[in-house]
Chains A and B, each alone.
Chain A
Amino acid sequence: MSRSPAAAAAAAIDALTRSAGPAPSLLSVEGLSVAFAGDDGPVRVVEDLSFSVAPGETVAIVGESGSGKSVTSLSVMRLVDYAGGRIVGGRIRFTGRDGRERDLAAPSADSLTGMRGNDIAMVFQEPMTSLNPVFTIGDQIAEAVMLHQGLDRKAARAEALRMLEKVRIPEPARLLDRHPHQLSGGMRQRVMIAMALSCRPSLLIADEPTTALDVTIQAQILRLIRLLQDEMGMGVIFITHDMGVVAEVADRVVVMWRGKKVEEGPVEEIFRAPQHPYTKALLSAVPKLGALSGQDLPVRFPLLVVDDAKAGAAPPAPPVQDTVRGEAAPLLEVRDLTTRFDVRKGIFGSLKARVHAVEKVSFAVRPGETLALVGESGCGKSTTGRTIMGLQAATSGAIRFDGVDTTTLDSNGQAKLKEKIQYIFQDPFASLNPRMTVGFSIAEPMLVHDYAPAAAPGQSRRRAIEARVAELLTQVGLRPEHARRYPHEFSGGQRQRICIARALACDPKLIIADEAVAALDVSIQAQVVNLLMDLQAARGLSYLFISHDMAVVERVSHRVAVMYLGQIVEIGPRRAVFENPQHAYTRRLMAAVPVADPGRRTRDLRLLTGEIPSPIRALGDEPAVAPLVAVGPDHFVARHAIGGDF
């Protein structure tokens, strides 16, 4: 083997640059820096980032909001230019199908259009908004095919149909002529994937592709991507904040924090022996299903606090949450609660169908107890919460709060009820008035309900309320002086804390937390969950914790009720339900949760299909409500007439 010295040198350099990855790299990002225009000059959102992706490899980029992981993915596509960002340094070397290597970071990379969607494809987080509402599914997939493969309309349509089949969409031919709004989120994400893969790209970038989906659907999509990857041999960059998903899909992991890569390594190593303090902190905050196996009571997250890349001291063992006063009468009792919505159509608004959102739901919440209401989109868990709160009229059934039948209350009593039951919504952005100071938002319920906080002698009501606001802010981990600021000055987690402070203002007995931590980053989520538990311990609060996240539910709840199609299919102590699920749906729900442990990765690549069924029923088609049968102490499960029919 004789080579010229120059060629040898080139090969050596080549070998060096490739040494980052296990195989010859498909994509090699070197020293990438991206800046956005800020109020005081450009702000670097990604700094000096390097990583590579080999064909057939899945690299997960993990990090929380603002870590720069999405900007990285947009930079590779050069879509960041349209989002107001600018690549200010580094190279993005990509070897296309033609074998030529290009620098995608080069300023002249406008010609990238030809590669986008062809060599590199992308799937986004928001399946609900990522498809163009005015074009049919078929047209949207065929468009990419026609652009890149030069097929005519008819051939492109045939190809689109083939892709839909590939992503296991039932009745793909019918779907071609449908519009996006007629599809569920999971279906839309499949269409997105079909579209992305239609030109057989060598690199797929999936930016949080399953975050907005229910767990069972998430599991389906993750498997689908893996299956197609194996089939097509493409490299995948998987952007996510969910360590469970990482453990499920990644070969290698790049951890990003504040725009920089802080750690990189094979997935097993990252999970087994994280090096960087941030990675450690991140992993400590991840709710892991099964973390409390063998535990009866909820336990707070053992939190590592990371600040300026230094890990805090290992936390003391978190206390268990033994707050339930079992001997006391239930605080909230719901009996045979049914809530239905009419679907009206036509000019005279004639009744066409009904949404059976909640069907004969019964449960009780004891003082100091957290009852979790779990289930997937449309199962009726939020409607249940809203009905209890009086935001939605019940069709039938009884709700007793503190021994009083709330349905018989006059408006005065209703107001009093609202003072004692508070609601925390999922979206802290939307639930705070942007034009009111935080202090006013917190004080507002006290003013509305004419609630008089305990006042020091000689203190005016105004002063007393101000003092109370300060106290509440301190309790939720903020500072009293924050009262004068406006919501936009706070981060998402801080805003949710403000919402909690507001909910606490009138000293409620029950808080209905509707997906209250779903929108938060994991570390923030863990902090807020711990805060809720602290408050429960201190004040004896009861929670109705509405969530789709089984791992969080495991942490927080004393008892769990699983809802499906408006009915409770299983209810019981958390440990019993999680360790010994009796209903098929509960089991399926648990199985779908990604486990944040690459060692326990699902190797079963059989594709899951199926949609969450709709609770809309024709008039007169009343659903059968299966009776709950005791299967253990305080543990009940619905026995359906046909086994496993759900």
Chain B
Amino acid sequence: MLKYLVGRLAGILPVLLVISVFVFGFVHLLPGDPARLVAGPDATQKDVELVRQDLGLDQPLWVQYGRFLGNAVQGEFGRSMKSKRPVSQEIGERFLPTFYLTVVAMVWATLAGLLIGVASATRRGRWQDHVGMVVAVSGIAFPSFWLGLLMIDLFSVKLGWLPTSGYGTWQHYVMPSLTLGLGVAAVMARFTRSAFIEIAREDYVRTARAKGVPARLVVWKHTLRNAMIPIITMVGLQFGFLLGGSIVVETVFSWPGLGRLLVDSVNYRDYTVIQAEILLFSLEFIVINLLVDVLYALANPEIRYS
């Protein structure tokens, strides 16, 4: 296992290198001149040229890439073109808010999704199933933007229970994490339900019943343990997506996270920030994948021993 982990970790570097080429390429292929955007709407041609030199955008692409890569290797991503702060600081102060929010949202959403999914699957075709799946479908279909505003209106404006937006105390987490997690919970519920139903059809579940295992244990032990294997993958995937920062939720609740930063930097063609942020997302995805694989192996003995 340890050897496997070390191997996988070593494998991350070349992947990141390839990603860095793509990221750099894509960012520089975006239409629009960042120098012009950085310089501002009423900057003169001269101003723009000054900015261009300042940002090093007058140099050949490969020189820019080399510099980017050289810096990146040292964990240094240069300065934001827009704010002129080190990118590491810019992203650093945004990472934790997004991370915390994602964790909170994922935890409740996964638990709720699992419970609803299992409840629906075990009462398949009955009213509990229908209610569960209607909730799940609406959870997916609900625009989180609209849901967020609705909650603000109800819980902040009308009832005065929760702060409308911002980041800080635990109260600030309630609405954003509910909004962010709703879609995940819905996806998890549906996914759990179908994984569960599929597993429930397996011969070994029948074996468990034939052994006289009580219904409760058939569900929570024999079926769920196996259903967890695909569910873990799903959780990892969802977690990876959310870690990128939810643009909508962060916007509605003024959450100082990565999603908003990315939108801002794309609008601004803040190359350095975009590059670093996408590299960070890739890294997160790779790490989560690794974690998922490890968990997957722990849950699935067939993988563990091969």
Stretch of A130-138, A267-275, A563-571 lying at the B interface:
A130-138
* Contact partner, A124, options B206, B226, B229, B301, Cβ 8 Å: B206
| Alpha-carbon distance between A83 and B209 when the two chains are bound, in angstroms | 12
Give the interface centre of B203, B211, B215, B299 by most chain A CB atoms within 10 Å: B211
Residue of A nearest to B204 (CB): A132
Interface residues of A in 330-362 (CB under 8 A from B): 346-347
Residue of B nearest to A122 (CB): B210
Contacts of B207 in A (CB 8 A): 124, 130-132, 192, 195
Tell me how far the C-beta of B305 lies from the nearest C-beta in chain A, rounded to whole angstroms. 7
| Alpha-carbon distance between A133 and B306 when the two chains are bound, in angstroms | 14
Interface residues of B in 196-247 (CB under 8 A from A): 202-215, 222, 225-226, 229
Tell me how far the C-beta of A194 lies from the nearest C-beta in chain B, rounded to whole angstroms. 12
| Alpha-carbon distance between A79 and B299 when the two chains are bound, in angstroms | 28
Tell me how far the C-beta of B197 lies from the nearest C-beta in chain A, rounded to whole angstroms. 12
The answer to whether A133 and B209 touch across the interface, beta carbons within 8 angstroms, is no
Stretch of B3-11, B16-24, B32-40 lying at the A interface:
B3-11
| Alpha-carbon distance between A83 and B206 when the two chains are bound, in angstroms | 9
Tell me how far the C-beta of B202 lies from the nearest C-beta in chain A, rounded to whole angstroms. 6
The answer to whether A82 and B7 touch across the interface, beta carbons within 8 angstroms, is no
Is A116's beta carbon under 8 Å from chain B?
A: yes
Interface residues of A in 287-305 (CB under 8 A from B): none
Give the interface centre of B4, B210, B215 by most chain A CB atoms within 10 Å: B210
Tell me how far the C-beta of B302 lies from the nearest C-beta in chain A, rounded to whole angstroms. 5
Give the interface centre of A129, A134, A192 by most chain B CB atoms within 10 Å: A134
Contacts of B212 in A (CB 8 A): 113-118, 144, 147-148
The answer to whether A179 and B206 touch across the interface, beta carbons within 8 angstroms, is no
| Given A113-B215, A346-B7, A347-B11, A129:B203 Cβ within 8 A | yes
Is A121's beta carbon under 8 Å from chain B?
A: yes
| Alpha-carbon distance between A77 and B209 when the two chains are bound, in angstroms | 9
| Alpha-carbon distance between A117 and B218 when the two chains are bound, in angstroms | 14
Residue of B nearest to A114 (CB): B212
The answer to whether B208 and A132 touch across the interface, beta carbons within 8 angstroms, is yes
| Alpha-carbon distance between A568 and B108 when the two chains are bound, in angstroms | 61
Contacts of B225 in A (CB 8 A): 132, 134-135
The answer to whether B203 and A347 touch across the interface, beta carbons within 8 angstroms, is no
Contacts of A108 in B (CB 8 A): none
The answer to whether B11 and A133 touch across the interface, beta carbons within 8 angstroms, is no
Contacts of B215 in A (CB 8 A): 113
Is B128's beta carbon under 8 Å from chain A?
A: no
The answer to whether B204 and A133 touch across the interface, beta carbons within 8 angstroms, is yes
Is A412's beta carbon under 8 Å from chain B?
A: no
| Alpha-carbon distance between A115 and B209 when the two chains are bound, in angstroms | 11
| Alpha-carbon distance between A169 and B3 when the two chains are bound, in angstroms | 33
Dominant SS among interface residues on chain B? helix
Is B300's beta carbon under 8 Å from chain A?
A: yes
Interface string of A172-197 (1 = CB under 8 A from B): 00000001011000000000100110
| Alpha-carbon distance between A118 and B222 when the two chains are bound, in angstroms | 19
| Given A113-B212, A134-B299, A147-B211, A82:B305 Cβ within 8 A | no
Contacts of A117 in B (CB 8 A): 210-213
Contacts of B300 in A (CB 8 A): 133-134
| Given A82-B206, A132-B208, A113:B214 Cβ within 8 A | yes
| Alpha-carbon distance between A181 and B203 when the two chains are bound, in angstroms | 14
Interface residues of A in 601-616 (CB under 8 A from B): none
Contacts of B208 in A (CB 8 A): 132
Is A402's beta carbon under 8 Å from chain B?
A: no
Residue of B nearest to A131 (CB): B204
Contacts of B204 in A (CB 8 A): 129-133
* Contact partner, B222, options A115, A126, A132, Cβ 8 Å: A132
Interface residues of B in 68-87 (CB under 8 A from A): none
| Alpha-carbon distance between A116 and B209 when the two chains are bound, in angstroms | 8
Is A143's beta carbon under 8 Å from chain B?
A: yes
Contacts of B8 in A (CB 8 A): 347
Contacts of A121 in B (CB 8 A): 210-211
| Alpha-carbon distance between A117 and B213 when the two chains are bound, in angstroms | 8
Interface residues of A in 407-451 (CB under 8 A from B): none
| Alpha-carbon distance between A124 and B209 when the two chains are bound, in angstroms | 12
Residue of A nearest to B202 (CB): A129
Contacts of B213 in A (CB 8 A): 113, 117, 143-144, 147
Tell me how far the C-beta of B11 lies from the nearest C-beta in chain A, rounded to whole angstroms. 7
A-B contact pairs, 5 of them (CB 8 A): A130-B203, A133-B204, A136-B301, A179-B305, A196-B210
Shortest beta-carbon contacts, A-B, top 10: A117-B212, A347-B7, A117-B211, A179-B301, A116-B212, A129-B203, A132-B204, A122-B210, A130-B203, A144-B211
Partner-B contacts on A (CB < 8 A): 77, 79, 82-83, 113-118, 121-122, 124, 126, 129-136, 143-144, 147-148, 179, 181-182, 192, 195-196, 346-347
Beyond known contacts A116-B211, A132-B204: 17 more, CB 8 A cutoff:
A77-B210, A79-B210, A117-B210, A117-B211, A124-B203, A124-B210, A129-B203, A130-B204, A130-B206, A132-B208, A132-B225, A133-B301, A134-B229, A136-B301, A144-B212, A181-B302, A196-B210
